[in-house]
Protein backbone atom coordinates (compact mmCIF):
# COMPACT_ATOMS: atom_id res chain seq x y z
CA UNK A 1 0.00 0.00 0.00
CA UNK A 2 1.44 3.39 -1.04
CA UNK A 3 1.34 6.10 1.60
CA UNK A 4 2.44 9.71 2.01
CA UNK A 5 3.83 11.45 5.09
CA UNK A 6 5.04 15.00 5.58
CA UNK A 7 6.23 17.37 8.25
CA UNK A 8 9.13 19.44 9.49
CA UNK A 9 12.52 18.48 10.86
CA UNK A 10 15.36 20.16 12.70
CA UNK A 11 18.85 19.14 11.66
CA UNK A 12 22.22 19.52 13.37
CA UNK A 13 25.29 18.78 11.23
CA UNK A 14 28.64 18.66 13.03
CA UNK A 15 31.96 18.51 11.13
CA UNK A 16 34.24 15.74 12.39
CA UNK A 17 37.95 16.28 12.85
CA UNK A 18 40.23 14.07 10.84
CA UNK A 19 43.72 12.87 11.67
CA UNK A 20 44.32 12.90 7.93
CA UNK A 21 43.12 16.05 6.17
CA UNK A 22 42.15 15.57 2.51
CA UNK A 23 41.56 18.91 0.74
CA UNK A 24 37.94 19.54 -0.34
CA UNK A 25 36.67 16.46 1.58
CA UNK A 26 34.49 16.56 4.69
CA UNK A 27 32.97 14.13 7.16
CA UNK A 28 30.06 15.11 9.39
CA UNK A 29 27.57 13.64 11.82
CA UNK A 30 23.85 14.25 11.31
CA UNK A 31 21.25 14.47 14.07
CA UNK A 32 17.60 15.18 13.22
CA UNK A 33 14.33 15.58 15.09
CA UNK A 34 11.22 14.84 13.00
CA UNK A 35 7.76 16.32 13.58
CA UNK A 36 4.51 15.74 11.72
CA UNK A 37 3.46 12.37 10.28
CA UNK A 38 6.88 11.03 11.30
CA UNK A 39 7.88 11.73 14.88
CA UNK A 40 11.28 10.66 16.12
CA UNK A 41 14.98 11.16 15.68
CA UNK A 42 17.77 10.11 13.38
CA UNK A 43 21.52 9.82 13.50
CA UNK A 44 23.83 9.52 10.54
CA UNK A 45 27.16 10.05 8.86
CA UNK A 46 27.85 12.22 5.82
CA UNK A 47 30.83 12.33 3.47
CA UNK A 48 31.18 15.33 1.17
CA UNK A 49 33.46 16.61 -1.56
CA UNK A 50 33.76 20.11 -2.90
CA UNK A 51 35.42 21.15 -6.14
CA UNK A 52 37.44 24.08 -7.44
CA UNK A 53 34.32 25.19 -9.35
CA UNK A 54 31.95 27.32 -7.24
CA UNK A 55 28.59 25.71 -6.42
CA UNK A 56 29.68 22.22 -7.51
CA UNK A 57 29.91 19.49 -4.88
CA UNK A 58 28.50 16.17 -3.76
CA UNK A 59 27.65 14.20 -0.67
CA UNK A 60 26.57 10.73 0.38
CA UNK A 61 25.08 9.85 3.75
CA UNK A 62 23.55 7.00 5.73
CA UNK A 63 20.95 7.89 8.35
CA UNK A 64 19.03 5.66 10.80
CA UNK A 65 15.55 6.96 11.62
CA UNK A 66 13.81 5.75 14.80
CA UNK A 67 10.29 6.75 15.76
CA UNK A 68 6.63 6.52 14.82
CA UNK A 69 5.43 6.87 11.23
CA UNK A 70 1.68 7.47 11.07
CA UNK A 71 1.09 5.31 14.15
CA UNK A 72 3.61 2.56 13.37
CA UNK A 73 6.72 2.29 15.55
CA UNK A 74 10.13 1.14 14.37
CA UNK A 75 13.22 2.23 12.54
CA UNK A 76 14.65 2.25 9.02
CA UNK A 77 17.78 3.44 7.26
CA UNK A 78 17.95 6.13 4.57
CA UNK A 79 20.68 6.47 1.95
CA UNK A 80 21.39 9.95 0.55
CA UNK A 81 23.04 10.74 -2.79
CA UNK A 82 23.38 14.42 -3.74
CA UNK A 83 25.09 16.40 -6.47
CA UNK A 84 25.33 20.16 -6.96
CA UNK A 85 26.34 20.95 -10.55
CA UNK A 86 27.17 24.67 -10.81
CA UNK A 87 24.26 25.46 -8.52
CA UNK A 88 21.78 22.92 -9.93
CA UNK A 89 20.91 20.45 -7.14
CA UNK A 90 20.03 16.78 -7.50
CA UNK A 91 19.10 14.81 -4.37
CA UNK A 92 17.93 11.22 -3.95
CA UNK A 93 17.06 9.80 -0.51
CA UNK A 94 15.88 6.19 -0.49
CA UNK A 95 15.01 3.63 2.19
CA UNK A 96 17.63 0.87 2.19
CA UNK A 97 15.85 -2.42 1.41
CA UNK A 98 15.20 -4.69 4.42
CA UNK A 99 16.37 -2.02 6.90
CA UNK A 100 12.96 -1.63 8.58
CA UNK A 101 12.29 -2.95 12.08
CA UNK A 102 9.24 -3.69 14.24
CA UNK A 103 6.03 -2.26 12.69
CA UNK A 104 8.09 -0.75 9.84
CA UNK A 105 9.72 -4.08 8.92
CA UNK A 106 8.62 -4.06 5.26
CA UNK A 107 9.06 -0.33 4.54
CA UNK A 108 10.33 0.98 1.21
CA UNK A 109 10.19 4.46 -0.22
CA UNK A 110 11.71 7.80 -1.14
CA UNK A 111 12.05 10.92 1.00
CA UNK A 112 12.31 14.47 -0.37
CA UNK A 113 13.68 17.46 1.54
CA UNK A 114 12.23 20.93 1.02
CA UNK A 115 13.97 24.03 2.37
CA UNK A 116 11.70 27.03 2.77
CA UNK A 117 12.23 30.27 4.68
CA UNK A 118 15.15 28.81 6.64
CA UNK A 119 13.27 25.67 7.74
CA UNK A 120 13.50 22.03 6.64
CA UNK A 121 10.48 19.98 5.60
CA UNK A 122 10.14 16.39 4.39
CA UNK A 123 7.75 14.61 2.06
CA UNK A 124 7.96 10.84 2.31
CA UNK A 125 6.31 8.50 -0.17
CA UNK A 126 6.51 4.97 1.17
CA UNK A 127 4.97 1.51 1.09
CA UNK A 128 4.43 -1.15 3.72
CA UNK A 129 3.57 -4.75 2.88
CA UNK A 130 0.49 -6.02 4.67
Give pLDDT tens digits for 53-112: 999 999 999 999 999 999 999 999 999 999 999 999 999 999 999 999 999 999 999 999
pLDDT digits (tens, 9 = 90+) for 2-59: 999 999 999 999 988 867 778 888 999 999 999 999 999 999 999 999 999 999 999 9
Residue 129: pLDDT band with limits 50, 70, 90? confident
The predicted pLDDT at position 4 comes to 98
Write the Ramachandran bin of 51: left for phi over 0, alpha for psi from -120 to 50, otherwise beta: beta
Decide if 43 contacts 33 (C-beta within 8 A).
Answer: no
Pick the CATH number of 2-127 from 1.10.3720.10, 2.60.220.10, 2.40.350.10, 3.40.50.150: 2.40.350.10
Which whole-number Å values give the CA distances from 104 to 38, 42, 50, 93, in the listed order?
A: 12, 15, 35, 17
For residue 30, give every residue at least 6 positions away whose Cβ sits within 8 Å of its Cβ, in sequence order, or none. Answer: 11, 12, 13, 42, 43, 44, 45, 46, 61, 63
Average pLDDT over residues 115-126: 97
CA R_g for the chain? 16
Query: Which residue ranges make up each domain of the chain?
Result: 2-127
> Global pTM?
0.93
Amino acid sequence: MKMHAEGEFIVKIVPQSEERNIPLFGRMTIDKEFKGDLTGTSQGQMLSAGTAVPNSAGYVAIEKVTGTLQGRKGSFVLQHHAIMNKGEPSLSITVIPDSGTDELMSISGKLDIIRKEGKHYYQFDYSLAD
